[in-house]
Amino acid sequence: MTSTSDPRALRAELENLTTEAFRPDLAEIDRLPTLDIARLMNAEDATVPAAVAERLPQIAAAVDAVAERMASGGRLVYAGAGTAGRLGVLDASECPPTFGTAPGQVVGLIAGGPEAMVTSVEGAEDSARLARDDLDGLALTPADTVVGVSASGRTPYAVAAVRHARRLGALTVGLACNPGSPLAAAADHGIEIVVGPELLTGSTRLKAGTAQKLVLNMLSTITMIRLGKTYGNLMVDVRASNEKLRARSRRIVALATGAGDEEIERALTATGGEVKNAILTLLADVDGPTAARLLAESGGHLRAALASADG
């Protein structure tokens, strides 16, 4: 990989990346009316889902591999720098309230640490050692998965994270937005979403960032579906940590069971507010402890627990 100590070589490398390409047709964009710029930007963004669609088989294969590891107690770890790192941290932080994941079950690592979420940490993305240290701090096991995220696909932090994780026996996924990237090549599962040159040359928080967000949404959401964190399209492991989520919990129980308000309140009280357990008590006509046992025996899968109760 090119060293940042050789600026001419790095410049040449960047010039060959699709995400860094200059578009002469947009050279006068700053002279256009605001509405025209908005239309151009919207049209560019509209191409991203199609680019993601081209890689759905690779995404699905990665999801199945991640879910298999997590079902055995493994963790999902995102590692990236800049925008890519922030997107990983965002996705990880949304898993506990949405899917009731345990603390540390989904982790977002960003080069430079928490400070890098709001400010640039000079040199952090270029440090392979920092990536190794961050992962060693998690004490990775072969049950874990590390997803390296980088628009260019060459960011040293992300590439080193994937290489180090693979040496330790963890499952690895490389998410990039350029073809033939070192990141994808280093991973067990390479996913390259080629969105083309950006509206602003090299500003990969735009289309590349949108593509990464879409893929990370898929990785975490579909993995959680596979782990039994949903019942149909209902988030039955939602953690009711505020008034909105408490109201959502009651609505989820209602949608799953058709029960009335009083029944729902009794079921939630009997199960300590656990949505999945409350649904099971209502649909299978069992008490709270029995619901907890059935769910534990089914690995947290509500449909399996219902089948067991019926059997």
| Residue 294 DSSP SS3 | helix
The Cα–Cα gap between 36 and 220 comes to 36
Catalytic option among 13, 68, 94, 265 = 94
**Does residue 20 carry a catalytic annotation?**
no
Q: Are 47 and 195 in contact (CB under 8 A)?
A: yes
Catalytic option among 20, 28, 54, 125 = 125
Contacts of residue 130, Cβ cutoff 8 Å, sequence gap at least 6: 111, 112, 124, 157
Q: Which of 83, 10, 4, 26 shows the shortest CA–CA distance to 201?
A: 26
**Does residue 192 carry a catalytic annotation?**
no
Integer angstrom CA distances of residue 120 from 81, 156, 164:
10, 16, 24
Q: Are 197 and 178 in contact (CB under 8 A)?
A: no
- The Cβ of residue 29 has, within 10 Å, a number of other Cβ atoms equal to 14
Q: Which of 76, 60, 211 shows the shortest CA–CA distance to 148?
A: 76
Q: Say how many Å lie between the first and final Cα of the chain, rounded.
A: 58
Q: Give exposure, 169-198, as e/b (b: 16+ Cβ within 10 Å).
A: ebbbbbbbbbeebbbbebbbbbbbbbbebb
Q: Give the active site residues.
A: 94, 125
